[in-house]
Structure 1
Amino acid sequence: MKEILNSFADAVKIIPDGATLMVGGFGLVGIPEQLIAALADSGVRNLTVISNNCGVDDWGLGLLLRNKQISKIIASYVGENKEFERQVLSGEIEAQLVPQGTLAERIRSGGAGIPAFYTPAGVGTPLAEGRETRLFDGKAYILEHALTADFSLIRAARGDRMGNLVYNKTARNFNPMMASAGKVTIAEIEELVEIGDIDPEAVDTPGIFVQKLIVGAQEKRIERLTTQA
């Protein structure tokens, strides 16, 4: 049985200054939005954040950027966040941009206990400068190291009291691999169900990877709204 938290403020109070966080989501899809909002209110600082991107200026990780709570971010692209772009260009924040597939594999490897791997992504570009390179079957590959975190903040549609999780379609994105790569994983879920209510074949993240659960309503904002004329 996992710890079921009652307050988002209580959920994030265990996160200290200087912690490394993995935060699930892609844009605004599948982000643990209430946990992020609670972090913004907590005032914790000097965070290293590993996430695909920073969403938008006024929601998700954009709230932490606005408060200057992030000192370093490892991500695959700047995305729609103008404040992220501004802080990177002005040198206010350290940013490590990683090819998206490489980022996913670095996180997955961290959760699987694989310390490093070779990939062809980035060979012949500035990304490979100063990096170990090896030839396999005559093709060059660069060495990438796995990523882990002190805490993983993830979002799921449903979870049971043992921490087994189910995601909703593309909201799955980075969440399962991040759940496995954090020392402490806190899952923000939309619905808590009883043990046995989730078909074992439908479990996306086994409860062994989850330490804490909290139920919260989702605003599910749209990153870029496009309508037909």
Structure 2
Amino acid sequence: MKTIYTSFQEAVKRIEDYSTIMVGGFGLVGIPENLIKALVESEVKHLTVISNNCGVDDWGLGLLLKNKQIDKMIGSYVGENKEFERQVLEGELEVELTPQGTLAERIRAGGAGIPAFYTPAGVGTPIAEGKEVRSFDGKEYLLQTGLTADYSFVRAAKGDRYGNLIYNKTARNFNPMIATAGKVTIAEVEALVEPEEMNPDHIHTPGIYVQGLIEGIQEKRIERLTVRQEA
């Protein structure tokens, strides 16, 4: 049995200053938005956050950024957040940009206990500065380290009391690999169901990776709304 939290504040109360946190999602899709809001309310500071991007100015991880709770961001995309840009240019935020595929593999490697791997992505660019480059079969590869975190926050469509998770379509994105790479993984689920309601063949994250769950209602905001003009 896993810990079933009754409030989002309870779920994040043990997180301390200077913690490293991985957060699932891609843009605003599949983000554990209520866990993020609870972390904002907790006012924990000096966080290192690992996520594909840092949300937008007024939602998702952008709320933590706006509240000056993040010291360092490890991600692959920062284009939708003006406050992110301002903090970087003002020297208020440390950023480690990583190619998106490399970021995904660094997280997957960390969760699998693999300390480092070689990839051709980033060779000959500023990303390679200070890192080992080796040649294999006449091609250069860059050494990248695996990533782990003190806590992982993920969002799933369904979860059961054993911690098994099912994601919905593109909301799956980074969530399954992030679930494996945290010392403590907390899942925000849209529906907490009984184990017999979960088809074992459909489970994306086995419960062995999950320590706690909480059910919540998400707003599911759209990062950039595009509509077709009327003829």
**Where does residue 87 of structure 1 map in the other structure?**
87
Distance in structure 2 (CA, Å) of the matches to 1:223 and 1:203: 28
Moved more, 99-108 or 123-132: 123-132
State how far apart, in whole Å, the 2-side matches of 1:215 and 1:4 are: 9
Provide the residue aligned with 1:130 in structure 2.
130
Name structure 1 gaps, 5 residues minimum. Answer: none
CA shift digits 1:10-65 (9 cap, x unpaired): 11111000000000000000000000000001100000000000111001001001
SS at match of 2:197: coil
- Report the equivalent of 1:189: 189
The corresponding residue for 1:170 is: 170
Which residue of structure 1 lines up, in the alignment, with residue 224 of structure 2? 224
- Is the 8 Å Cα contact of residues 55 and 79 (structure 1) preserved in structure 2? no
* TM-score of the two chains, using structure 2 as the length reference: 0.98
Q: Hey, what's the Cα distance between the residues in 2 that align with 1:36 and 1:131?
A: 33
**Aligned equivalents of 1:137, 1:188: Cα separation in 2:** 45
Q: 1:184 is matched by which residue type in structure 2? A: V
Task: Please say which of residues 39-48 and 82-91 is displaced more in the overlay.
Answer: 82-91
Could you tell me how far 1:79 is from its partner in structure 2?
A: 2.5
Distance (Å, rounded) in 1 between the aligned partners of 2:192 and 2:77: 33
Q: Secondary structure at the match of 1:83?
A: helix
Aligned residues: 229
Runs (4+) off by over 3 Å: none
Deviates more, 1:127-136 or 1:20-29: 127-136
Equivalent position of 2:204 in the other structure: 204
- Structure-1 residue corresponding to 2:78: 78
Measured against aligned partners, the alpha-carbon deviations of 1:134-192 in whole angstroms (never above 9, x if no partner) come to 11100000100000000000100000110000000000011000000000000000001
Asked if 2 retains the 8 angstrom alpha-carbon contact of 1:49 and 1:74, the reply is: yes
CA distance in 2 between counterparts of 1:93 and 1:124 reads 25
Amino acid aligned to 1:228: R
1:140 aligns with 2:146: no
Q: Identity over the aligned pairs, expressed in percent?
A: 73
Residue by residue over 1:50-91, the C-alpha shift from the partner in whole angstroms, topping out at 9 and shown as x without a partner, is 000011100100100110000000000113111111111111
SS at match of 1:63: helix
Q: Give the secondary-structure state (helix, strand or coil) at the position aligned to 1:80.
A: coil
- Aligned equivalents of 1:163, 1:177: Cα separation in 2: 15
Following superposition, the deviation at residue 110 of structure 1 comes to 0.2
Letter in 1 for 2:208: I
> Post-superposition shift, 1:195?
1.2
Following TM superposition, by how much is the alpha carbon of 1:106 offset from its aligned partner in structure 2, in angstroms?
0.2
Q: Could you state the TM-score of these two structures normalised by the residue count of structure 1?
A: 0.99
Equivalence for 1:13? 13
**What is the CA-CA distance between 1:126 and the residue it aligns to?**
1.4
Q: For 1:96-115, list aligned pairs within 5 A.
A: 96-115=96-115
- AA of the residue aligned to 1:197: E
CA distance in 2, matches of 1:161, 1:216: 15
Quote the residue 2:60 is aligned against: 60
Letter in 2 for 1:88: V
Counterpart of 2:200, as a letter, is P
Partner SS, residue 49 of structure 2: strand
Structure 1 CA distance, aligned partners of 2:195 and 2:104?
30
Aligned-residue CA RMSD in angstroms?
0.6
